[in-house]
Structure 1
Amino acid sequence: MTSLDDLPIRDDLRGRSPYGAPQKSVPVALNVNENTHPIPEAVAHDIVARVAAAILQLNRYPDREFTDLRHAFAGYLGHGLDESNIWAANGSNEVLQHVLQAFGGPGRTSLGFAPTYSMYGLLSAGTGTEWIAAPRDGEFELTPETAVAAIREHDPDIVLLCAPNNPTGTPLSLETVEAVADAAPVIVVVDEAYHEFADPGTPSALTLLEGRPRLVVSRTMSKAFAFAGARVGYLAADPAVVDALRLVRLPYHLSALTQAAALGALAHSDQMLAMVDEIRGQRERIVAELDRLGFHPYRSGANFVLFGGVDDPHAVFEALLDRGILIRDIGLPGCLRVTAGTETETTAFLEAIAAFAPASAPASTPTPAA
C-alpha cells in the first residue's frame, strides 16, 4: 500500500502532522472551545428560511463579492468601518490563509509567540512561509518590550498576534498590539477570535486601524455566535489589504448558503450573543474552583481556561474521557485546557476533576454556580 512517504509531496511538508483535535462522541465535549449553547430557536427558524430561499437560486453562482455580508459585518463591528474594509471566508482559518498567501510565501517569514494557535504554523507551512515561534514572558503573558524585541531580532514579513491567546487564554494588551504595529512596516494580524468573551470594556484592536494600513483584525462567528459548523470568519483592514486578498481567493469561495446563514445570524446578533455573559460566568467559576482545588488556572479572556498543576496530563485526560468528559491535552507540561460550557457541563467537569486535585488541596464539593 502506498504511504505518504511514497508520494512526491513538497520537501518542506515531509514529517509534518495535520491539525488534529480529538473528535469523539461524548456527553460533555469541552475540548475545542465551541460555544456549547444552542442557537435560539426563533433565530434558527429565520436562518433556515433564508437558507431555503438561497436554495431556490443554487443554479446561479453566489455574489462573488458577498456585498451584503460585508456590509452586515461592518455594521456589527462599528468603528466607522464599511464594506470596503471587510473580508470574509470559510472560517477564520481560511481568512488567515488568504493573508499568508498574499503576504507570505517562499523566502518570507511569519512570526508568533509560542505557545499560540497551532494553525499559524500549519498555515505558514502550507503557503511556503517560514514560521518563527518567539518566546512569551512568564505566565504566558506578552509585554510590548518582549514583542518588539522579537520583531527586531527576526525581521518577519507577517506578525500573528492572538488576542486573547489560544491555547492559554491570555489577554493581550492594546499597548502591546500598538507597539508591534508601530515597530516595523510589516503585516500585523490581530486574531480576535475570542474577543467577545473578554471582560466588558476591553478595547479591540479595531480602535487602532485608522492610519495603520498594514494592521489586520481577524474575527470569527464560530465562538461567541455559536456558529462553528457554519464556518464563517472575517477580518477588518485597510481597503488595499482587502484588494490583495482578492488576488488569492478562489472564485465564489463563499457559497450562497453560507452567506444566507451568516446574514441571518448577524440580523439577530443581540440574541446570538445573549449567552456570552453566562459563558463568561462559567469561565470565572472554573477559575475559582480550580484555584480552590490547588490547580493553577492561568489568566483568561476567552471561553476556556488553561490550568497547570496536573501531575500526569495524559492520564487525567484519559480518566475524564472514561467519565464521558472530553477536554484538551495540548502538550504543555503539567497543563490541560477546558472550555467553559453550560452550567451543567461545567459542574460535570468540576466534579470529575476534583478527584485529581493536588494533594495539598482541600477536599470538598465544587462551588455552585452563581
Structure 2
Amino acid sequence: MPPAETKHLRTLSIAIVPDSFKGSAGAGTVAQAMARGARTAARAAGREVAISTLPFADGGEGTLDAILDAWDIPARSVATTDALGRDVAARYGLSPDGSTAVIEAAEANGLPAVSDVPLRPLHATTFGIGALVNAALDAGATEIVLCIGGSATTDGGTGLLSALGARFLDRDGHELPPGGGSLRDLASIDVSALDRRALGVSWKIACDVTNPLVGERGAAAVFGPQKGARTAEIDVLDAGLRRLAVVIGEATGRQLGEVPGMGAAGGLAACLAGFCEVELVPGWELVAQILDAREILGTADLVLTGEGRLDSQSLHGKVVNGVRLASRPEADVIVIAGSIQLGPDELAQAGILAAYSISPGPATLEELSGQAEGLIESTSYSVVRTYLANGQPG
C-alpha cells in the first residue's frame, strides 16, 4: 500500500505481552523480539504504530524476571539455603518505590535446585524462603507478593514460619525436625517470637490451583509424586498436613484443610494463612495488578502474546488466558508460540484470532531453542505484515 493511501489511517496500537519461552528465551527477550518484528512490518507497510511491550508471567517460574524487566531494576541477592538445607544465593525484587517485594519461592525451595541428588520428600523444607522474606522486611516492604510454584517441599510452610521465629513442638515441647515427615507429631505452635513485621505486611500469594491442603486432591496426594514421594511417604505427608491443619485450627480458629488452593506448593501458604492475613490470587491476575497490564491492554487494537507451548492449559490460568481476559473485547489477540496444540475451533471459542508457530519446518526442541529469539522476531514480522495487509483495522 503506497504511503499516500495510508494518511487517513489512524495510528495502530499494538500491545506485546508474552510469557517466556521456557528454556529458550525469557519474557523480556521475547517481548523485544516481537517488538522488533512488529516495527519492521509496520515500516514495510507504511503504517504508523504505537507499540507497548510488557514481559509477563503467570505467577510461576519466570515471574520474578518478568517483573524485574518491567520495573527495569536489578534483582537483590540473599544468602540462604535450598530445600535440602544447602547454601545457595537466591533473589527477590523490590519495587522502585520500595513498597512491594516480589519473592519467587522456588529460588529457595525449588525442585530444579535439588535435582542433582536423590529427592527427600519427607525432609525438604521451606526454611530458605524465610531469608528472602526477612530481607524484604528489612528493606521496608509493606506488601509481599509470594509466587509459590515449582516447589520441592510438602511441609505446609512450616519451614518458612520457623525462619520467621515460630517453633513447631511435639507433646514433650521438643522442636520438630524440618520437613513434612515430622508433622504427624506436631502438638503445638509457639508464635511468641514470630517476627511482628510478618503479621503487619500485606501478603498476596500467586496460586493457580484449587487443590485443598489434605485428602485425595490434596498437596501430598496430587503433587507429592513429582517431588519424589512414594505411596507410603504420601500417606505420611498427608497425615502431617492434616495434623498441621488441626493444630492451626485449635490455635487460631482458622480451618484450612479444605480451603481451595491451600494445597499449592506442598501447602506452602498454610502457615502464613493460619497466622497472617493473606490473599490467594490467580498468578496472572496478580502479575497484571503489579504491572498495570490492563492499562496497556485496555487501549490496544492488536495484542501479541505467546509462550513456548500453546495447549489446553494455556486457556486456564496461564498468561495467554490472562491476556485475552484483560484485553478489550474489540482487540484482536494473536498468539505466537513454539508449538501449537489447539485447533481453529478451540482458538475461536477462546477469543483468539489466530496462533502461529515459530518453527519454519520440522525441527527439534533443541534446534528451536537455539534460534528462538530470531524466529520469534521473524514470525512477528510475518504476523503483523499479514495483519496490516488485510487492512486490520482501518
For normalisation by structure 1, the TM-score amounts to 0.27
Structure with bigger RCO (C-alpha 8 Å, 6+ apart): 1
Rg larger in structure: 2
For normalisation by structure 2, the TM-score amounts to 0.26
